[in-house]
Amino acid sequence: MTTMMMTKMITNRRLLAGMLLLSVLGWTAIAQEKSSAKREPTDAVIFVTVVDGNGHFIYGVDVRCRRATDKKPKWQGPSDHRGEVAFHVPSGEGDYVVWAALKDKAAALKTESKVHISGNERTDVFLHLN
């Protein structure tokens, strides 16, 4: 091989590497632009915190949630170590009822809390257990 042929090969490789680099950078810019576009959330969140009479968080309480027009709960879950549980409900206008499912029915009725959602928002609810 002559020196001229080797120079052309090196130049072609550099050109190919440069084109490959530019295409990769272009694709990453497009992907980043698509991911950074803000999407509107499709649901609302009812965020519940369960506390006792002294304000300490209570772990493991079964919390339930239903629409105000329904009779049975549609969402339920236990509170975590910080006394928290979150329910993702459909966005839009709606009334919901949240309560702690306790063995004592009278005590469970006292924890019942009504929540109004209007849009895709987060609503915080504190359930006080005495």
pLDDT of residue 27: 77
At 10 the pLDDT is 66
pLDDT of residue 80: 95
Residue 47 is predicted with a pLDDT of: 96
- Looking at residue 106, what is its pLDDT? 87
Question: Checking DSSP bridges between strand 43-51 and strand 122-128, what pairing results, if any?
Answer: parallel
In angstroms, rounded to a whole number, what is the distance separating the alpha carbons of residues 20 and 67?
55
Question: What is the reported pLDDT for 13?
Answer: 77
Query: Tell me, what's the pLDDT at 83?
Result: 93
* pLDDT per residue of the chain (130 residues) written in tens, 0 to 9: 666 666 666 677 777 777 777 677 777 777 776 665 566 668 899 999 999 989 899 999 999 999 999 999 999 999 999 999 999 999 889 999 999 999 988 888 888 999 999 988 999 999 998 8
